[in-house]
Amino acid sequence: MPARSRKSEATATRGGNENADESGAPAKKKSRSGARKKKPTTGGEALKNRNENASVQNASVSGDGDEDADEGSGDLFDLLRVENAATILHASDWRARYNASEISAVAEIYSLLSKAAGCSSGVTAIELQRSDCLMIMNRVVEDMAAGNLYGDDPLAKRSQDFKGFRENFLDFIDKCIRDASEGGELYDGTLFATLAEIVSTCAGSKARPLRMAATMMGLQMISSLITVVNNLQKARDLKQNQVDIELKKKKSGGEVVKSLKRQIESAQEHIELVEGYMNDIFTHVFTHRFRDCDENIRAACMTALGKWMMKHQLVFLTDFYLKYLGWSLNDKSAAVRLEVLLALKTLASSQSHLAMMDTFIARFRGRMAEMLRDVDAHVVVEAVRLAAVLHEHTELDPEHMNFVTALIMDKTPSIRTAAAKATKTLMHTLTETYRKARGISYDDSTNPALEKELHGIVQLLNDLGDENGGHGKVIEGLSGVYPVLAQPGFIAGILKHDMEMADAAVIANVLVLTMRKAMGEDVSNSYTKTVSRQSAKIRNAIEAAHEQMTKDIGSLIPQLLSKYQAEANVIGPLVEVVRFVKLEHYSLRHEEDQFTALAEQIKDIFFKHSDKRTLEACGEAFNYFCNEGFEATAPFAQPVLDSTVNDLSARLSPALKKVRALMAKSDESVLNENEGYAFELRMCLYRVRALISKCNISSGVRVINDLSQYVADVSRANVPVGKESVAMASSSVSFALIWQGLELMDSDSATSVEVNEHLTERDAFLSNVMHILRRAEDSIADSDDLRRSLISTVCDMVLYYYNASTLPAAHPAKVLQLKLNSADSEAVWQQCTALITPDDVKQDADLDSARLAYRMAVHEQRIASNGAIGADFLSNFKLTGPWIDAAIRTYCNDLRRTGPQVLVRAVLTALHSAYAEVLQTDLGNRQVLIEAFTDLATRLSDIFMLSSKRDRLVMRIMFDEALKSVLLPEPSYDRFSFLAYGLGPFLSRLSAVDAKALTTFVDDALAKVDSEDTRCTPLIDFADQLNKRSKGASERRARWARKRSAEQQDVDVKKSKADDGDEDEGDDDAMEQDDTIETADDDAETTADDHTLDDGPVETAERSRSRRK
């Protein structure tokens, strides 16, 4: 007897009259398609019928067949684990086995699902016959808990042992569903109900791998059913077209039309049946798993839902299903939010789809705009792309796109690139705004496309502004998106046209930024001469770009300098362009006269302008002409530089002489540096400092001697002085000494006499600077800028003279290494501390002071290596404002990159020095200092994150060294409080694994001490906290647990009053609460801790201030 009989035994007894039942009553009427309408079989009914008919089926199968069925239960997994498996053939073979034996074939599917979850034991036909799905699932979960698992996850995308299984598994399910549709097994209800029960049961398992595998199978079933529906709809429409054609014929065949209509009705019934299947799977699987505690399951649900909406819009692209995407925009996992945005971006790419999503977009438009501020960079990138698509179809508010353009200046390169590409939807509007504001028109004499792009970029730069180097960040983001930014020659040609000076200034900035970008620089940061490692391909590309820029711009530079020589905002960037021209071309073309004329133009500009950017650009140009450029052209530029220095000396000496005479008379007119001789001196010093800071002026000995004498006069007498003049004079002399010192270090012919003369001059100057610095705070009003400049001068000298330590011992310049004595070092840091801790508690330290403190801490760590300044610098964290916090984070990142031990040493030095003050205080005031010490440790702990692997390593080393310093070789009773109050706040940053490893060490120390001694109380408290942390407890979780406990009482009261209609969902909710769901606060902390000094201050809530004196 066949295993699957199409007719029941009663029907066969009655001679096949399938329209009559046992009682002889008339049978139910058939549908017009000829097939009996069947009510869809539920999972329980299907399995009940399957078990009732099991004996009949087993009777038709021999004993050997049972063994083959049991053995075959693992065949599917073994076949599909191979890459590029023939899933079509395997699905066809399985369908044949299903027609022969339903029990065995279904057991194969169940076994395949359990093995896909990682369980090494399968499911047999006998077990499936004797047990229900829930019992089998529980047995599989028990086997997994017992360790019957594969070494790798079969469904992992990068699985080494099961390459290709994930794709083969899903493809096999798809082929099985589609083959069953073609063969008709799908429409009898039994096959689908059986598979649906297996999937829905396993999708509710507490075992996450099994839940994941079942969810993936269920989602794939819906995708396959959608394909079946689409095929049925195509067949139905095709038959309808044939009916229409037949009806239009004069002699249409009635039987043909009736047959076609029966086929149409049959296809429609099948469509409705399959759509019911889809709804059943969606209800039992998706509606529970889209809020699963596993982010991978939630992400898979969102990915599948987006595909369904694209494949079957009439059913899924409705508000009922779109709301799941909208809700998941608030998911705590970035992976889920990312999948939602990807789905929405794909849907929004079609205007027809947007027409069906109007209600959804109106409801969730605000949330989609908020995604632009997401903490995850990948989510922000997709949110930017979605915003661009929506804006292209006018579905997003204009103010939201304003925020997108602001993201061009973001510190993350991927966000900058995405925002730059999104500006293409705004470029037409920006270009039109620029054109209408200036009343210009475009013609074919130039390249109108490139010109429009340039004007749009200029308008965008004007809208965003140039605060904190904003233009460089914008150009860095836009490069590679707009072709005009790859053609500096075209931009320079635009500057030849008549235009407003404000526009010319912006275009000149764009020109120099594009040239810097072409030379391989990162224009999002301020210009530095550091060279990163570059491949040969990149170096060749840079060389080709350098050559092309020289050809395109070399002849235009003199014209542009002449045209804009009176415009300060334009001339500065144009002078910066000079250093990107290859000087070899002047020599190869025998154009030395043109090169000399260019150097004369730079000299003329140097004396005509006084703004910092132009003067420093001129200094860079002279340095490029005489030192770093082409050796053959340097002799033609050196006389121009010497004449510049001589002219500068001729202007400086009279002004300096007159000011020194006024200082000798105690004339307070020198305090006003905006007029008179003081103004002349300040302007001369501006030029001297700009030139000497960029270029070594060996012919400026007279200038340096005059300035050295001026600094000495200021240090010796308490006379009125101009603060800016003193600062620039000190800085200029320090640069001159540094240039001389570097020459002595690099020279092989340097003598001891030359070195000693330079050493005497340097030490005398440094002594004068220290005298001025010590009395600046008391004798000079508003001396913050002066003190800041003097501290920078000292730091620069210490840093550059440190190069002498790398010289051989026999080199005469070895003695030039500069090390400040303890008194000078302490005095400099005290002045720096006064700058970063203003007298007004409500006032925060500014950016310049933060950078200065950071430089001092870095110099001290690299040169002095005693850690005193760095430790004191760390103690200002979360006390003196956001700029100091950003500087400390940058300092910690530098130490972490140097080595975790270096950062540990800095933090422990800060804690040890603070605890030493606690021990030195009398008992009456010790409690106050202990509270301050605990506050210091709490603030320092906020620098680190448990989610960071690098920080966990730092914490591991820190706890290990701290415990050894207190407990070895013998426990130190006086330092037990250091563990409780100093290390206690860091416990939340220590991983539970590391805490568990340290517990044994601390317990051994407890066994050595007298527990009855009151001095052991801090150690016992610390041991208890460490033991709790080893079990995974943390302060945040404890607060969360207390909050949940308080809220649970209110929930119980509400539940007692609620109806019982929601009891069906209770089991799923309880199941999902087994895994603790973390809040999204950790992402915010990650963003804050990644913030550095280059990114600006971190905006935090107002906090109390308790500075440790």
CATH assignment at residue 390: 1.25.10.10
Q: What is the pLDDT of residue 954?
A: 93
- pLDDT of residue 947 exceeding 90, the answer is no
Residue 332 within a domain: yes
For the chain, what percent of residues have pLDDT higher than 70? 84
Residue 672 within a domain: no
Which of 116-125, 636-645, 1039-1048 has maximum average pLDDT?
Answer: 636-645
Q: Which residue has the higher pLDDT, 321 or 921?
A: 321
Residue 829 within a domain: yes
Please tell me the distance from the alpha carbon of residue 827 to that of residue 838, in angstroms, as a whole number. Answer: 17
Instruction: Write the single-letter amino acid at 732.
Output: S
Q: Which tokens sit at 886?
A: 């950003």
**pLDDT-derived band of residue 38, with 50, 70 and 90 as boundaries?**
very low
CA 511, 515, 518, 523 dihedral sign is negative
Q: What is the pTM of this model?
A: 0.73
Domain count, the chain: 4
- pLDDT of residue 1083 exceeding 60, the answer is no
Residue 295 within a domain: no
Q: Which tokens sit at 1088?
A: 């804050």
Please tell me the distance from the alpha carbon of residue 707 to that of residue 789, in angstroms, as a whole number. Answer: 16
- Helix, strand, coil fractions of the chain, as percent rounded to 5: 75, 0, 25
Residue 862 sits in the same domain as residue 976: no
- pLDDT of residue 921 exceeding 90, the answer is no
Q: Which residue has the higher pLDDT, 653 or 526?
A: 653
Q: What is the pLDDT of residue 484?
A: 92
List, in sequence order, the alpha helices (H) in 875-1011.
882-898, 900-920, 923-941, 949-967, 976-977, 992-1008
Please tell me the distance from the alpha carbon of residue 13 to that of residue 20, in angstroms, as a whole number. Answer: 11
Residue 189 sits in the same domain as residue 221: yes
**pLDDT-derived band of residue 18, with 50, 70 and 90 as boundaries?**
very low
Please tell me the distance from the alpha carbon of residue 844 to that of residue 349, in angstroms, as a whole number. Answer: 48
Q: Which residue has the higher pLDDT, 500 or 32?
A: 500
Residue 871 sits in the same domain as residue 969: no
Q: What is the pLDDT of residue 68?
A: 42
**pLDDT-derived band of residue 12, with 50, 70 and 90 as boundaries?**
very low
Question: Could you say which of 230, 259, 275 is where a domain stops?
Answer: 230
Q: What is the pLDDT of residue 1055?
A: 45
Please tell me the distance from the alpha carbon of residue 563 to that of residue 495, in angstroms, as a whole number. Answer: 9
Question: Could you say which of 898, 926, 959 is where a domain stops?
Answer: 898
Residues 954-978: what's their mean pLDDT?
A: 90
Residue 65 sits in the same domain as residue 170: yes
Q: What is the pLDDT of residue 717?
A: 74
Q: What is the pLDDT of residue 824?
A: 87
Closest listed residue to residue 637, CA positions, set 602, 661, 664: 602
Residue 492 within a domain: no
Q: What is the pLDDT of residue 1056?
A: 47
| Strand, coil or helix: 858 | helix
Residue 876 sits in the same domain as residue 942: no
Q: What is the pLDDT of residue 297?
A: 94
Angle at 43 between CA 39 and CA 44, to 5 degrees: 100
Residue 872 sits in the same domain as residue 963: no
Task: Tell me 153's DSSP state.
Answer: -
Q: How many residues are present in the chain? A: 1109
Mean pLDDT score of the chain: 82
Residue 952 sits in the same domain as residue 845: no
Q: Which residues contact 422 (CB under 8 A, 6 or more apart)?
A: 384, 385, 387, 388, 391, 401, 404, 405
pLDDT in tens, 271-288: 999 999 999 999 999 999
Residue 476 within a domain: no
For the chain, what percent of residues have pLDDT higher than 90? 41
Q: Which residues contact 409 (CB under 8 A, 6 or more apart)?
A: 416, 464, 470, 473, 474, 477, 524
Closest listed residue to residue 27, CA positions, set 663, 36, 379, 748: 36
Cβ(421)–Cβ(381) under 8 Å?
A: no
> Phi first, then psi: what are they for 119, rounded to 5°?
-75, 130
Q: Which tokens sit at 485?
A: 């930014």
Measured N-to-C along each axis, helices 424-438 and 448-464 cross at an angle, to the nearest 10 degrees, of: 90
Residue 927 sits in the same domain as residue 979: yes
Residue 26 within a domain: no
pLDDT in tens, 1091-1109: 455 555 544 444 433 333 3
- pLDDT of residue 55 exceeding 70, the answer is no
- pLDDT of residue 423 exceeding 60, the answer is yes
CA atoms within a 13 Å half-sphere pointing along the CA-CB vector of 281: 28
Residue 838 sits in the same domain as residue 925: no
Q: Which domain holds residue 847?
A: 823-898
- pLDDT of residue 1070 exceeding 60, the answer is no
Residue 1080 within a domain: no
Cβ(512)–Cβ(454) under 8 Å?
A: no
Cα separations in angstroms, 90 against 173, 176, 541, 804, 819: 10, 9, 53, 76, 79
Which range has the worst mean pLDDT, 419-428, 486-495, 635-644, 685-694? 419-428
DSSP-derived secondary structure for 435-490: HHHHT----TTS-HHHHHHHHHHHHHHHHH--TTSHHHHHHHHHTTTSGGGG-HHH
Residue 934 sits in the same domain as residue 1040: yes
Residue 856 sits in the same domain as residue 994: no
Please tell me the distance from the alpha carbon of residue 73 to that of residue 112, in angstroms, as a whole number. Answer: 8
Residue 147 sits in the same domain as residue 211: yes
Question: Could you say which of 230, 248, 265 is where a domain stops?
Answer: 230
